[in-house]
Structure 1
Amino acid sequence: MKNKLNIVFLGTPDFAIPTLKSLLNFGHNVVGVITQPEKPAGRAKIITPSPVKKFALEKHLSILEPHNLKKDEEAFENFKHLNPDLCVVAAYGKIIPSRYLDVPKYGFLNVHPSLLPKYRGPSPIQTAILTGNPKTGVSIMLIDEQVDHGPVLAQRTYNIKPTAYYSETEKDLSDLGAELLIETLPKYISGDMRPQEQDHNQATFTKMFTREDGKINWDCSAEKIYNQIRALNSEPGTWALLAYSVEAVSTTKAERPSGFVGQDKIINIKKAELRDGKLQIQIIQMEGKKEMSFEEFLRGRRNFDISQLK
């Protein structure tokens, strides 16, 4: 692009940073950043800026943190004063009102971590892992008034590693999305790349996962539980109820081990492996305690039969 465009970037979590960083590294004129407001974080509920805000502050970028895009008139006026030619979105986390969409000449481009129309919505990466899908990808799309509904400019496929957890997969897809956006931008602006409508009949949708979604059902197969742990271990967390004895953890069908049933305490399952079709719990965390290996956890409990857990 011969003439630099004024670009406003919208993003909030770590996933968004590679895209913003790439825009800056390739010399694009980022005139402002919109991110979600600071929120309480951690056990101490300390008010914490979003990862994107921290990065934007380091780069001395103009930052807007509207609480409500639809109702905040001052935020909308500030947005218009940035005079954007194009907006780039990566995991901003809120629906963008139509009046914003009408401002930039080239619209809003979104970096979405799935092969649209599959996995629209807030949790495409987690859902792909949870369902055992071996492939996903990234899409560069134009935002319209519906969620992940707009036409697609470019896509790239990604093979999900069978042992990869959400954090690793998210990092790979965030880098891939940033790379694809940089490749796509000049072709889109020059008119050499035309957006293609999605096949809306093929659309599938994801949801926000809750704490209850992380509760392990030991009647499920070992593979299904393993995928659940890989997808949800960091957020909202995978967990079970702890009683006083264990019968078995390593089973092809993850039969309900008595050590994970009862009303005593919650045990968070942080990491596991699937070996020869059997689930091997590796890292756990009791409520309010530090992470520890599952073997270490068992050593301090004489009523547990360690030999049945290896």
Structure 2
Amino acid sequence: MGRGGSYMKIVFFGTPDYVLPVLDALHKAFKPRSLESPIAAVVTQPPKPIGRKQQLEYSPADNWAHKKKIPIFFDPNDIIKNKIQADIGILASYGRIITKDVIDYFPHGILNIHFSLLPELRGAAPIPATLVMGKKDAGVTIFRLDELLDHGQIVLQFTEDIPPEDTTGTLMVRLFVRSAEVLETLIPAYLQGKIKPHEQDHSKATYTREIKKEDAFIPPEFINATLQGLTFKGKWKIDFIRDFEVEPIPEVVERFVRAMQPWPGTWTEVKIMDNGQWLKRRLKILKSHLSQPTTHNPQLVIDEVQLEGKNPVSWKQFQEGYATTTFE
């Protein structure tokens, strides 16, 4: 039974285009015969001014709800103020803190989709961390939200294989599609009390944080070494993963490049010879792969780059344009 009606009602909290498969699945799977959507409201980030003209850009979740004439809110507390009737909240990449008052407003709480096997990799960057760490599969946890960071009771967990070409972007798309499929059967079972949430083992928690542009920097000496299949002596501290450092071997650098796609994009520094002068420039490494190992370790092979202020080009084109280039 739905709150204030005979069928389920859901409030969705989310923002980017990645979450649209979840919205679509909820809308279609739980829509009754009437024309009314099971989505009672969408809570999303407010529009932001973009470009020189500072035109407002609305979030993909906002645009989705607008087309379906579903109420849109930018402040979670407005759900309470407007007395929106719903059984449960579903949260996916929303981007703001939800207070206890809002969580407790829903009879069955709010379920959050998090892309790790909690309590591992709590925080804002579990997918990039999963890729950098070289895990063979990605975890997904659907848990009951509480007021602490990724701390609530676990409702369900599952995993998804990671193929060698996956980036953060491609993996995130696939995980949201899988999560949407899972929610179609999970939500009814959960509301009927057939699934009992259980506590996390908080003593095993590890953490990530939101990635900044500077986190995508690879020291040029690491690039220089890995292009030759060498291991740079020393450790590489990956700052967005708490207490994590690793040897900067070619395999790790290649995984890091994929982890930083589509944003912010791995970058390093190069010296290029231009008109007889050495110039130091930022260089984005957009795509790379590993050579097939023979008797030696695999080497990093750069496929696509972008010099600051220039368009993306293949590594071959870049070398043709800047024949004398050094990573230092």
Please tell me the TM-score bracket, short chain as reference: 0.7 to 0.9
Of 162, 165, 169, the residue aligned with 1:163 is 165
Residue 5 of structure 1: aligned partner? 8
In structure 1, distance between residues paired with 2:19 and 2:72: 15
Letter in 2 for 1:224: V
Residue 301 of structure 2: aligned partner? 280
Residue 65 of structure 1: aligned partner? 74
Paired residues for 1:1-310 under 5 Å: 3-28=6-31, 29-41=38-50, 46-66=55-75, 69=76, 76-78=80-82, 81-217=83-219, 218=222, 219=232, 220-244=248-272, 264-276=280-292, 277-303=298-324
Letter in 2 for 1:6: K
CA change 1:41–1:229 in 2 (3 A) is farther
Q: Which SS does the other structure have where 2:63 is aligned?
A: helix
Per-residue displacement from partner, 1:126-155 (whole Å, max 9, x unpaired)?
Answer: 110111111222111100111111111111
Calculate percent identity across the aligned residue pairs: 33
In structure 1, distance between residues paired with 2:16 and 2:27: 17
- The 8 Å contact of residues 138 and 176 in structure 1, kept in 2 or not, is answered as no
- The 8 Å contact of residues 272 and 281 in structure 2, kept in 1 or not, is answered as no
Comparing 296-305 and 133-142, the one that deviates more: 296-305
- The 8 Å contact of residues 112 and 177 in structure 1, kept in 2 or not, is answered as no
Q: Which SS does the other structure have where 1:92 is aligned?
A: coil
Per-residue displacement from partner, 1:238-257 (whole Å, max 9, x unpaired)?
Answer: 10112126xxxxxxxxxxxx
Normalised to the residue count of structure 1, the TM-score between the two structures is 0.85
Q: Which SS does the other structure have where 2:105 is aligned?
A: coil
Residue 248 of structure 1: aligned partner? none
Per-residue displacement from partner, 1:61-107 (whole Å, max 9, x unpaired)?
Answer: 211113xx5xxx656413xx212221111111111001101111111
- The 8 Å contact of residues 154 and 180 in structure 1, kept in 2 or not, is answered as no
Letter in 2 for 1:231: A
In structure 2, distance between residues paired with 1:38 and 1:286: 31
In structure 2, distance between residues paired with 1:102 and 1:304: 59
- The 8 Å contact of residues 240 and 268 in structure 1, kept in 2 or not, is answered as yes
Normalised to the residue count of structure 2, the TM-score between the two structures is 0.80
In structure 2, distance between residues paired with 1:130 and 1:45: 36
Q: Any unmatched runs of 5+ in structure 1? A: 246-261, 306-310
Q: Any unmatched runs of 5+ in structure 2? A: 32-37, 223-231, 233-247, 293-297
In structure 2, distance between residues paired with 1:42 and 1:22: 33
- The 8 Å contact of residues 233 and 269 in structure 1, kept in 2 or not, is answered as no
Per-residue displacement from partner, 1:187-227 (whole Å, max 9, x unpaired)?
Answer: 11111111111111111111111222111131421111111
- The 8 Å contact of residues 129 and 166 in structure 1, kept in 2 or not, is answered as yes
In structure 2, distance between residues paired with 1:290 and 1:150: 45
CA change 1:224–1:14 in 2 (3 A) is same
Deviation at 1:162, TM superposition (A): 2.0
